[in-house]
Amino acid sequence: MTQAIQSAQQGILMTDAALRQVKLLQERQGNADLCLRVGVRQGGCSGMSYMMDFEDPTKIRETDEVFDYEGFKVVCDP
């Protein structure tokens, strides 16, 4: 069983395997400083769809929730 990595705040849980995968994808982007942004946008069958993409950390807003996983940041829209 894979152990989930959990920040001090509850919100987004990542398994060890998921963290390894996003770090590998981050490396392929050629920028080790990128964070992962997750959120919900209008669209899709139900009117809403999930989004997930790498983003420069300078674009983190005050209203975002930021979760740190061993130095890798996951940013969540409010």
Domain-by-domain residue ranges, the chain? 11-76
What pLDDT digit, counting tens, does each position of 17-69 carry?
999 999 999 999 999 899 999 988 887 677 788 889 999 999 999 999 999 88
Contacts 24+ apart (CB under 8 A), 65-70: 65/9, 65/11, 66/35, 67/7, 67/9, 67/11, 67/12, 68/7, 69/5, 69/7, 69/14, 69/19, 70/5, 70/19
Whether 11 shows a pLDDT value over 70: the answer reads yes
3-state secondary structure of 40: strand
Class of domain 11-76: mainly beta
Predicted structure pTM score: 0.76
Rounded-to-integer distance, Cα 78 and Cα 68, Å:
16
